[in-house]
Amino acid sequence: MELESKFIKGTNEQYSIRNDGVVIRHWFIHSSGTKSLKERIIKGYLDKNSNVLKIGINNKEYLLKTLMSQHFTIINPYNKDVPLIYKDNNPLNCSLNNLYYREPQEKTPLEYYHINNDKYSKRMRGNLPKHYVAATLKMKKEELSEELFVLQTRILRLKRLLNMKN
């Protein structure tokens, strides 16, 4: 793969990005006001929460894969907003040939939530406390009869199961 470089928009040709995912600073101004033309490769850091490579340019954070998409026009072939992901599942490898848009998956946001949060979905199917059931009926816990508690618990579980499937 031949290296291609493009200046990053909005940086006054101070920074450029290559198709192998490397960001280069071409010049900077010292605190004394003199301009240095020494080139330097800017190292990114891995965000532990989102597991993506971020890079700092002029006191702003950018996702490296987003910069690659903007400057080397990785085209999203789908009409939906889908994530740009790594072919080799390595967020440190942001080269142009390693990035692609994932095919859209036909799941609702609620399904994604329940799939990714199994503890939550187990809790949703578990026993409901009496004070919770009474609160849904806008009653005090002491006023709730046993038959009404059982009936309302079944209704709430059914509603939750329907929400999980839709």
For 105-155, write each residue's pLDDT tens digit: 766 666 666 666 655 555 555 678 888 889 888 889 899 899 999 898 888
Q: Where are the domains of the chain?
A: 5-101, 109-165
Identify the CA nearest to 67 among candidates 49, 77, 54. Answer: 54
Residue 128 is inside which H or E element, if any?
none
Residue 166 has pLDDT above 70, yes or no: no
Q: Specify the 3-state DSSP secondary structure of 101.
A: strand
Q: Tell me which of 121 and 27 has the higher pLDDT.
A: 27
Number of CB atoms found within 10 A of residue 107's CB: 11
44 membership: H or E segment, kind and range: none
3-state class of 89 per DSSP?
coil
pLDDT tens across 73-85, in order? 888 888 888 888 8
Does the pLDDT value for residue 4 go beyond 60? yes
The pLDDT of residue 47 is above 70: yes
How far apart are alpha carbons 25 and 20 in whole angstroms?
A: 15
Cβ neighbours around 137 below 10 Å, total: 12
pLDDT band at 25 (very low <50, low <70, confident <90, very high): very high
What is the dihedral angle through the alpha carbons of 9, 44, 3, 27, rounded to the nearest 10 degrees?
60
What pLDDT was estimated at residue 63? 92
| pTM confidence score | 0.60
Residue 35 pairs in a beta bridge with: 29
Question: Facing residues of 42 across strands?
Answer: 23
Q: What fold is seen in the domain 5-101?
A: Homing Intron 3 (I-Ppo) Encoded Endonuclease; Chain A (3.90.75)
**What size, in residues, is the chain?**
166
